Amino acid sequence: MMDRIEIRCDMPSAGWQLLPLTAEDWSRVATGPALAPLAAAGLFRAEAGEGFVLPAPEGAGGQLVLGLAGTCAADWRRLGAEAAALGRSRRLGECWWDGTAVTDEALIAALLDGFLLEGYRFERYRQPAAAAGAVPRLTLVVPPARQADCAALLRQRLLVAQGVTLARDLVNEPGNVKTPQYLAEQAWQLARQTAGVRAMVYGPQELRRQGCGALLAVAQGSAQPPCLIVLEYRGGNAETAPLALVGKAVTFDSGGISLKPSENMEQMKMDMAGGAVALATLITAARLQLPVNLVAVIPAVENMPSGSAQRPGDIVRSLSGQTIEVVNTDAEGRLILADALTFASRLQPRAIIDIATLTGACIIALGHQAAALLGRDETLLAALRQAGERSGERLWPLPLLAEYNEQIKSTVADLKNSGGRPAGTITAAAFLGHFAATPAWAHLDIAGTAWEEKGRPGQPVGATGFGVRLLLDYLQQGC
């Protein structure tokens, strides 16, 4: 996409001008003979999602007129996505936008994000004739004094978009391709290609030696061996403890013996979205050369039913030494995260952020508009919420009261892996809290935001990459 966006200081003499209009702008310009009929018929009101192409009288280009609902970053992000979508649908080769009057870099960044992300499609398994086509080339016109800054901003947003693309591609891969070993190989390759990144992969024998009983129990029903993927990036001070990102990676989740319903089970290839986000965030932070120390811990398994699968009622011993009664084999994500959180805690990080498609209860509570945020460090939680608002990947806090621990007490083990239907998102987080041994810990449940079922501006049907832009924004603020 880098070759599809250009920063320049002079106005193009031809092409299609991107013209965003608020309702106030529209009422002022919709008086000429070409526009008045549209206004009179109410066909365009300058609302979000509205747009049309107005060819120039001489036939060389024209204008892409789009509604701009407001002046916040979310409005500009949608504007960029809708401009790319309209240009693609009309097969426009090039368009340009006059940004000389826009001085807020956050708005320009949002426009770029929307335009770049609308260009994403997962089509590697489709015939070329079925492909969606390319978005147009975009030229941003800025004053000479801001050209260098805007060029640097473009490079930054391109790298961020590449990070989102990486996460989306990994999640969209089908389960017959995307095994735990496939994820490990992708991590190895990315680490070799990215300066400052080191990768380690722990296979079944090493996991058994270390005592990762919870992770191994989930994997024992599958023919695909599990692994624990660990990536390190040290861009900060050598004496500074790292921030740990822990991402759940169940490459396909059938539910195990507690088998899921068949409806929409094909989407369970996305149950490794948290791991994809952790991997993509660390790699992108390294590409951006952010001055931070990071470690990503990604437990990768496949959860399948078989004669060797774990059973409801089994008791497993986790890496922490705590025993867990498995009352539901479809509550497997928290089992592999238990060992991953313990592993991450032993690295003595300054904070742990785990991200996971953990509970269907999160979708019931928050739908698909926000991810759940829980934890026990108010400063960390507040910073993540602010990053969510800036990036458009919003988080909503849920209470993590001590009383919720009562629901995950077992009569035969230290804990049980499900507290039942009431407050399911909260009790899952409460369970994880027993294994995150750092005071600063946050849990992001992205079950409702990791997958898009209908498609929207900047986001086709499929994986969203939710969390990459949020975490990178958090890191860029100095975390």
Q: Which string of DSSP letters, residue by residue, matches 191-243?
A: HHHSTTEEEEEE-HHHHHHHT-HHHHHHHTTSSSPPEEEEEEEE-S-TTSPPE
Contact present, 63 and 75 (Cβ < 8 Å): no
Q: Is pLDDT above 60 for 2?
A: no
Q: Which helix (H) or strand (E) holds 140?
A: strand 137-141
Helix (H, G, I), strand (E, B), or coil: what is residue 264?
coil
The confidence score (pLDDT) of residue 38 equals 77
Tell me the average pLDDT across 311-332.
Answer: 98
Six-digit token string for 376: 């026990």
- Rounded Cα–Cα distance for residues 394 and 296 (Å): 22
Six-digit token string for 247: 């991402």
Strand order across the beta sheet in which 323-325 lies? 315-317, 323-325, 415-416
Contact present, 36 and 20 (Cβ < 8 Å): no
- Amino acid, single-letter form, for residue 342: T
Contact present, 183 and 170 (Cβ < 8 Å): yes
**Given the structure tokens 């947003």, which residue do they identify?**
157
Q: pLDDT-derived band of residue 132, with 50, 70 and 90 as boundaries?
A: low
- Rounded Cα–Cα distance for residues 302 and 354 (Å): 19
Tell me the average pLDDT across 22-51.
Answer: 82
Tell me the average pLDDT across 177-199.
Answer: 98
Other CB atoms within 10 A of residue 223 CB: 10
pLDDT in tens, 280-291: 999 999 999 999
- Rounded Cα–Cα distance for residues 102 and 289 (Å): 28
Q: Is pLDDT above 60 for 109?
A: yes
Residues contacting residue 50 through CB under 8 Å, at least 6 positions apart:
44, 66, 67
Q: pLDDT-derived band of residue 129, with 50, 70 and 90 as boundaries?
A: low
Taking phi over 0 as left and psi of -120 to 50 as alpha, with beta for the rest, 59 belongs to left
Report the share of the chain in percent with pLDDT over 90.
Answer: 84
Q: pLDDT-derived band of residue 54, with 50, 70 and 90 as boundaries?
A: confident
The confidence score (pLDDT) of residue 60 equals 73
Q: pLDDT-derived band of residue 215, with 50, 70 and 90 as boundaries?
A: very high
Report the share of the chain in percent with pLDDT over 70.
Answer: 98
- Amino acid, single-letter form, for residue 201: V
CA distances from 444 to 131, 436, 465, 466 (A): 34, 13, 14, 11
Tell me the average pLDDT across 41-52.
Answer: 85
pTM of the model: 0.95
Tell me the average pLDDT across 246-256.
Answer: 98
Tell me the average pLDDT across 83-107.
Answer: 92
Q: Is pLDDT above 60 for 433?
A: yes
- Amino acid, single-letter form, for residue 191: A
- Active site members: 260, 334
Q: Is pLDDT above 70 for 1?
A: no
Least confident of 43-47, 141-145, 225-229, 240-244: 43-47
The confidence score (pLDDT) of residue 127 equals 85
Handedness of CA 81, 84, 87, 89 (dihedral sign): negative
Tell me the average pLDDT across 336-343.
Answer: 98
How many residues does the structure list for the chain?
479
CA distances from 97 to 6, 7, 9, 15, 34 (A): 11, 10, 11, 10, 21
Helix (H, G, I), strand (E, B), or coil: what is residue 185?
helix
Tell me the average pLDDT across 249-271.
Answer: 96
* Phi, psi angle pair for 294, to nearest 5°: -130, 150
Q: pLDDT-derived band of residue 42, with 50, 70 and 90 as boundaries?
A: confident
DSSP assignment of 372-432 equals EEEES-HHHHHHHHHHHHHHT--EEE----GGGGGGG--SSSSEES---STTHHHHHHHHH
Q: Is pLDDT above 70 for 3?
A: no
Q: Is pLDDT above 90 for 32?
A: no
Instruction: Calculate the average pLDDT of the chain.
Output: 94
- Rounded Cα–Cα distance for residues 210 and 218 (Å): 16
Contact present, 68 and 89 (Cβ < 8 Å): no
Tell me the average pLDDT across 241-252.
Answer: 98
Contact present, 373 and 397 (Cβ < 8 Å): yes
Span between the terminal Cα atoms of the chain, in Å: 29
The confidence score (pLDDT) of residue 47 equals 87
Tell me the average pLDDT across 262-271.
Answer: 96
Q: pLDDT-derived band of residue 229, with 50, 70 and 90 as boundaries?
A: very high
Q: Give the residue with greater pLDDT, 402 vs 479.
A: 402
Tell me the average pLDDT across 348-375.
Answer: 98
CA distances from 423 to 271, 282, 330, 427, 428 (A): 21, 32, 17, 6, 9
Q: pLDDT-derived band of residue 63, with 50, 70 and 90 as boundaries?
A: confident
Contact present, 378 and 472 (Cβ < 8 Å): no
